[in-house]
Amino acid sequence: MNDTRDIDCLSRLTMFSTIYIEAKIADHPRTREICDRFPQATRVACKRYGEVFNPKSQNFRLQKRKPALILAHKHDRRVLETPDGYGIGGPANYYFSHMLNCLYDCRYCFLQGMYRSAHHVLYVNYEDFGTDIDAILDKAGNEPCWFFSGYDCDSLALEPVSAFMQHFLPFFAARPAAHLEVRTKSTQIRSLLKHTAIPNAVVAFSFTPAEIHASLEHRVPAIERRLEAMQTLQQAGWLLGLRFDPLVYQDNYQQQYARLFAQVFSRLDTDRLHSISLGTFRLPRTYFRNIVRLYPDEPLFAGRFAESDGMVSYPAELEDEMTGFCTRELLKYVPETVLFPCMLAA
Ligand code: SF4
């Protein structure tokens, strides 16, 4: 295992040397708390965060080396319905992102194709997200609703700064009809361990095989460290999920995934796994093109791809083969009831 890629989130945080602060939340207590953590950082006031985040002339790849932190207010479209086909069995599914962008640097990540900037935007008005979730719950009556966090970021990677879970765990604990998925590749589980496990939250860890992790998931904690974190959470009573998404093709993908599944299921109590989802690599066409422009020499993008309905993905027969193989392998360890294929953009 390469320890240099197993960089702890906290040590990376010392790299925030610039913090942009949107005028509307300049006096927000969360803004002050976060700024106090980085006394050396240069603070730059801005009217709206888009002035910093959206300009066209930015280079995502260069910014990714030394991203700034942008503290902002999320005005609208805070909690949105997920696209069809996204979910883990619940009748009503929504997603929300308290952050844009990620500390990690996965070469297949759609965020690189979606945003012009690699700076980290953190929306500090968590209370407004909560108000919107409550409005959805009110409308749904007593029907259960799922809320997926970590759609435009990693839910836990910046937890020591964002205190996102610290805020939202008590919120969801008080609302049993609201189910939370926390999706992560991080080992930042301290906030979770400080809180009693709640039955309506699932902590979902994403994995690719060791070979893919080594070549494509830069700065992501090692597989073993994530499994240790999962074991610790499982022992503390937390419900866990596994996300094998994206499934990435390499000539020997069958051996790679068979080895990964054997490793994962040797460490976890499979009777207490909430859900497993899997989906082959796919991206909206424009994002795919943007990413190829950023990394023209990346072998991942030189593979066999097909375009359909604005999406770039493996050809259908390869998708079926990979999904079929991985499903059969997974069924050696878990019942079909916990498996959920996903056919949408990762
Ligand atoms: S961990 Fe997820 S959000 Fe972060 S870079 Fe990797 S794929 Fe993107």
Q: Which residues have C-beta atoms less than 6 Å from ligand 1?
A: 102, 104-106, 109, 111, 153-154, 185
Residue 105 Cα to ligand 1 midpoint, Å, equals: 6
Residue 101 Cα to ligand 1 midpoint, Å, equals: 8
Residue 111 Cα to ligand 1 midpoint, Å, equals: 8
Contact status, residue 289 vs residue 301, Cβ threshold 8 Å: no
Residue 308 neighbours by CB under 8 Å, 6+ apart: none
| Encoded tokens for 112 | 């690189």
Angle at 243 between CA 237 and CA 244, to 5 degrees: 140
- Dihedral over alpha carbons 40, 41, 47, 52 (to 10 degrees): 170
- Looking at the CA of residue 183, tell me the nearest atom of ligand 1: 2
- Of all protein residues, whose CA lies closest to atom 7 belonging to ligand 1? 109
pLDDT by 10s per residue, the chain, length 346: 333 334 455 555 457 899 999 999 999 999 999 999 999 999 999 999 999 999 888 888 889 989 999 999 999 999 999 988 787 888 899 999 999 999 999 999 999 999 999 999 999 999 999 999 999 999 999 799 999 998 899 999 999 999 999 999 999 999 999 999 999 999 999 999 999 999 999 999 999 999 999 999 999 999 999 999 999 999 999 999 999 999 999 999 999 999 999 999 999 999 989 999 999 999 999 999 999 999 999 999 998 999 999 999 999 999 999 999 999 999 999 999 999 876 544 4
Residue 263 Cα to ligand 1 midpoint, Å, equals: 22
The count of other CB atoms within 10 Å of the CB of residue 267 is 14
**Pairwise CA distance, residues 99 & 122, whole Å:** 5
Residue 55 Cα to ligand 1 midpoint, Å, equals: 22
Mutational test site, ligand 1, from 153, 154, 217, max ligand atoms within 8 Å of CB: 154
| Encoded tokens for 1 | 């295992």
Rg, Å, the chain Cα set:
20
